[in-house]
Structure 1
Amino acid sequence: MFKKIAAATALVLASSAAFAAQPNTFYAGADVGKTKVDDFSKRDTSVGAFVGYNLSQNFAVEGGYRRLGDYDIGVMSYGGAIDNGSVKVDQAHLSLVGSMPIGESFSLYGRLGVNRLEAKLSSPAYDSKESTTKALYGVGLSYAFTPAVSARLEVQKPASDGTNVSAGVAFQF
């Protein structure tokens, strides 16, 4: 029984290799999603773009930029009054992406890397900008429509107090 299960698993994995990423190729794509930051009560829309290079069928290096959110906040002015302000949070990232086929066209992937987060506060009273560099990790699921076009769904942790869930499309070339 174990041999039959092992043989069936090997056939499934071998058949999924047809849609696996080809080594030494580039890819690019875009995504849209939602970001939740612990200090803010609402989730905000995120948009991003990424480029990558397939080192092998299972490993790639990827870099990208994402607007994690644009939050409206109340800011105390110098006179003690509350003014309306906004915080824009941006992410630039570089990571190693490892993938494993789990079906004919599906792949499970994980990411580990570094990202630079920048928050810009704008209000009538003052403007401020702060940035930090943090570790980045995430997991995702990819579906290859063709060898050149795939969709992906990912959960990313750009910071300990933030989570981003996004859906995107990638094009191999």
Structure 2
Amino acid sequence: MNTKRMLPLLSAAAVGSLAGAGALAQDNGYYYGGLSVGQSRAKIDDERITAGLLGAGLGTTSLSLKERGTAFKLFGGYQFNRYFALEGGYFDLGKFGYAATTWPTGTLDGQIKLRGFNLDLVGTLPITERFSVIGRVGAQVAKASDRFSGTGAVQVLTPNPSKRDTNYKAGLGIQYEVTPSFLIRGEAERYRVNDAIGNRGDVNTFSVTLMFPFGRAAAPASPPVVTSSYVAPPPTAEPPPPVQVVPAPARKRVSFSADSLFAFDAAMLRPEGRDALDRFMKDLSGLRFDAVHVEGHTDRLGSAAYNQRLSMRRAQTVRQYFIAHGRFEPAKLVATGKGETAPVTLPGDCKGNAPTPTLIACLQPDRRVVVEVSGATD
């Protein structure tokens, strides 16, 4: 039994050249597991079957093919960083077969099962905050278990041949992060396989995958740093004449770590981020607000345009939270995105351009949301 190629080869190039993607935060490494279920497809070589029967002196009067099956995969892996993971699993590509009737009168039934283990390198290319493109390339060891049976004029000499062989596999798909602990994938994969009687071909699978990260580390919440300044009046030789004193507007400037407010590469507030903003609003009791400015900042990794958009989305998220849960008037709240234009780190502090865990940790001070409040005490 032989399978033929049905799709262009899924290029392994999708796994590489991902370091330039715009990602502003970074998960630490974590383990994950999951389950894939979908449809498998193969092309059975009906001409070879007919020719084989003819060589045995038998004509083929009818031939029915089963070229689709149900495939599943159980897998686990380790995500080294945002871009690369190593994944291994057990797969079952399903069953394929055929049934032929012959003249002189007889029947021939053939069936193949394909099961095995794989080890893949998986690459991820972020497209939006939650959507990514994934590509994979790897090796797989598949066992082909064939079963042949004949009746009447058809005699089968080897009814149950089997063979185990190592071949490549590749795949391409999309991934959506529902939550940090639950992801969904849609994938197309190609398995190069050998059957047990000397034929070689491809089996393609189209599957939906549920993926569950284990112990995915949340970024530790960083307490806000409140800075304020007081300028003493210059000394005078003689007491100044009595004047009406108008108190200067009170100001508070708070810098929140973006990693403490938001999840990886996202603009949705985390529970600990909401707690930090609630504490900040509570500390402002007794102050009349004239203006509130919210600024979003990112690090220098990724493109400037991507960084600008993400910083603006995060600033707007904080502004909307203040409006919905605080006592700020919307007209007095202004949100701006600064992108990567105002880093805290100095040019020589964090060397390199590749988004390694070391560089991402070094650039953490640049990823922040700054809130400045101007007003007067009651």
- Superposition TM-score, scaled by structure 2 size: 0.38
Q: Equivalents in 1 of 2:31, 2:160: separation in Å? A: 39
- 1:122 Cα deviation after fit: 2.3
Q: In the alignment, is residue 145 of structure 1 matched against residue 150 of structure 2?
A: no
Work out whether 1:162 is the aligned partner of 2:203: yes
Residues in 2 aligned to 1:144 and 1:163: alpha-carbon distance in whole angstroms: 25
Other-structure match for 1:59 = 84
Q: Deviations over 1:40-85 (max 9, x none)?
A: 6532111111100111221100001111011233389xxx942434
Aligned counterparts, 1:55-134, within 5 A? 55-74=80-99, 81-124=106-149, 126-134=159-167
Cα offset, 1:98, TM superposition: 0.8
> Is the contact between residue 150 and residue 171 of structure 1 (CA under 8 Å) also seen in structure 2?
yes
CA contact (8 A) 1:96 1:111 kept: yes
**More deviation in 120-129 or 148-157?**
120-129
* 3-state DSSP of counterpart to 2:161: strand
| Superposition RMSD in Å | 2.5
Matched with 1:27 is 32
Aligned partner of residue 206 in structure 2, secondary structure: strand
Q: Which runs of 5+ in 2 are unaligned?
A: 1-20, 45-64, 150-155, 193-200, 215-378
d(CA) in 2 for partners of 1:30 and 1:162? 19
Amino acid at match of 2:168: A
Match of 1:135 in 2: 168
Higher strand proportion: 1
1:119-167 Cα shifts (integer Å, max 9, x gaps): 1112455211122211111111110100110000111111152211111
Identity %: 30
Mapped to 2, the partners of 1:135 and 1:23 lie a distance apart of: 30
Is 1:49 matched with 2:74? yes
Structure 1 unaligned spans of 5+:
1-11
Provide the secondary structure at the position in 2 that maps to 1:127. coil
Q: Give me the whole-angstrom Cα distance separating, in 1, the residues matched to 2:206 and 2:28.
A: 27
**In structure 2, distance between residues paired with 1:91 and 1:34:** 17
Structure possessing the higher radius of gyration over alpha carbons: 2
Paired residues of 1:107 and 1:141 also in contact (CA < 8 A): yes
C-alpha contact 2:66 2:97 (8 A) present in aligned 1: no
Structure 1 residues 75, 91: CA separation in 2 closer, same or farther (over 3 Å shift)? farther
Name the count of aligned residue pairs: 156
| The structure with more helix, counted as a fraction of residues | 2
Tell me which of the two structures has the higher relative contact order, counting C-alpha pairs closer than 8 angstroms and 6 or more residues apart: 1
In 1, the alpha carbon distance for the partners of 2:122 and 2:143 equals 23
- How far does the alpha carbon of each residue in 1:14-42 deviate from its partner, in whole angstroms, 9 at most, with x for none? 47x5xx7x332100000111111122653
* Aligned CA distance change for structure 1 residues 112 and 23 (closer, same or farther; 3 Å): farther
Secondary structure of 2:179's partner?
coil
C-alpha separation in 2, matches of 1:82 and 1:23:
59
Distance 1:36 1:130 in 2: 20
Counterparts of 1:53 and 1:140, CA distance in 2:
18
Are the structure 2 counterparts of residues 54 and 65 from structure 1 closer, same or farther at C-alpha, using a change threshold of 3 Å? same
